[in-house]
Amino acid sequence: MTSLAELSQIESNRNTGGAQKARILAVDDTPDILMLLKLLLGLDYDVTTATSGDEAINAVKDKTFDLIILDVMMPGLSGFETLQRLQLLPNFGTTPVIFLTAADDAANELHGLGLGAHDYIAKPFKPSLLLLRINNIVQRITIQKELSSALNSRAKSEERLRFVMEATGEGIWDWLVASDSLINNASWCRIVGLDEHKLEHSMAFVKSLIHPEDLELVSRALDACLDHDEPLAIEHRVRHANGHYVWVEKKGRVVERSEDGTAVRMVCSVRDISERKKMEAEYRRLALFDPLTGLPNRRLLIDRLQQTISQYRRDGESGAILFIDMDRFKEVNDTYGHDTGDQLLIEVGRRLSACIRTSDTVARLGGDEFVVMLTQLHEDREANKGYAAKVAQKILESLGKPYHLGPVVCSSSPSIGLVMFSGTEGETVDSLIRNADTVMYEAKQSGRNSLRIAD
């Protein structure tokens, strides 16, 4: 059949060089890395190099690329800043980006993926693995372009279109807007758990699968695509036939309009990104929460405290910081072992959480140090100080009770430093935590199991 023959020719052209080479922009401030990338990719791709974010921006202003490989840590513009500026350029469009960097911590990877990068690969990298990932991305983009071309050509048969749609490995639907009829491929059915042999549905049915919390967002994006010719690029949840929801990434555009500009036909690719979303959630948990106690960590505390200081600077309200250090924790660790010490810290976190309101924050800074941030207090600063002191006394009483940790019963008590804050000039996150730490140390020096309030 001609459709199979044509599809085979597409693959043959890609493998033999009959088609134009895909263009890749490699951006890195290390010449050796750029040389390695050119050697690795030069036979199969048209590779352009840039040594800075500014050079990359100028390159994309001049021409389009099929893929951008971008270092994160560069002098001047970082890779993250470069990507954000590239996304504003007409030539960038939806160009896939791979971050290739030595900054391989979870927070940076989460941030990079959140900016829209397709992949995040740590240095030193395995050349074979990098090449495989690049080939997969470029092949997918190439087939999507062929799909768009096929859709715009009425001479192409629907059967050939179906083969191309399946070749992407992604869900695809082709929407005839006026009739509300939607033709889909089997991959789309697999994503939502429907019969793979039923390849036509209505748009009304497709919308009924969208999570209620996401429906308005998706509807606005579709309207913008139909009415203003904006490309569709959105992530949302859809209901699987088994009842659970899966995360999908949709990319599409109007491929046919009538003489008066009305949208006639729209095509969209649908990719299951549930695993990526799980990974992002896990990265966020690791980046912002203490893995032992599940409490916010230093990073998240600093972020919340900074936002609160800025708010109080505008509104004139006040809050309190309680810096808590567990007395003789090292003795518990040394006597009963680290497992028991960890159990004690988990119990401390639980008791602290029980002493405060949901609007407040308990964070573990590390070791046996915790911080409680009290917010949404009264306007009167002295009344707030009295309330904060009562909470501190409640914490003293709660944390001073014996700890039943499996077969072990042990004791520990807190030393607490209390500092009030209201966002006045000169108050910073660092100064507040440092001051609270200082008065906590004074409480510990005075005999432990006590509270010291800053003047």
Q: Which of 95-104, 105-114, 251-260, 349-358 has the lowest mean pLDDT?
A: 105-114
Residues 6+ apart with CB under 8 A from 28: 34, 37, 49, 51, 69, 71, 74, 100
Q: 4 pLDDT exceeds 50?
A: no
pLDDT at 148: 59
pLDDT at 151: 52
pLDDT tens per residue across span 326-361: 998 999 989 999 999 999 999 999 999 999 998 899
Mean pLDDT for 99-122 is: 80
pLDDT at 147: 60
pLDDT at 144: 66
Q: 287 pLDDT exceeds 60?
A: yes
Mean pLDDT for 231-250 is: 93
Cα(128)–Cα(88) distance, integer angstroms = 32
Q: 298 pLDDT exceeds 70?
A: yes
Q: 150 pLDDT exceeds 70?
A: no
pLDDT at 113: 83
- 180, 163 Cβ separation under 8 angstroms: no
Q: 413 pLDDT exceeds 70?
A: yes
Q: Which CATH superfamily is domain 2-144 in?
A: Response regulator (3.40.50.2300)
pLDDT tens per residue across span 429-454: 999 999 999 999 999 998 889 999 99
The mean pLDDT value of the chain amounts to 85
**Looking at the domain that runs over 289-453, which CATH code has it been given?**
3.30.70.270
Tokens of 170: 């992604």
pLDDT tens per residue across span 173-224: 889 998 888 888 888 999 999 998 888 899 999 999 999 999 999 999 999 9
Listed in order, the ranges of the chain carrying CATH 3.30.450.20 are: 169-274
Q: Rounded to the nearest 10 degrees, how much is the dihedral formed by the CA atoms of 182, 188, 190, 195?
A: 10
Cα(306)–Cα(297) distance, integer angstroms = 14
pLDDT at 230: 87
Listed in order, the ranges of the chain carrying CATH 3.30.70.270 are: 289-453
CATH class of 169-274: alpha beta
pLDDT at 171: 86
Q: What is the DSSP string of 28-90?
A: -S-HHHHHHHHHHHTTTSEEEEESSHHHHHHHHHH---SEEEE-SS-SSS-HHHHHHHHTTST
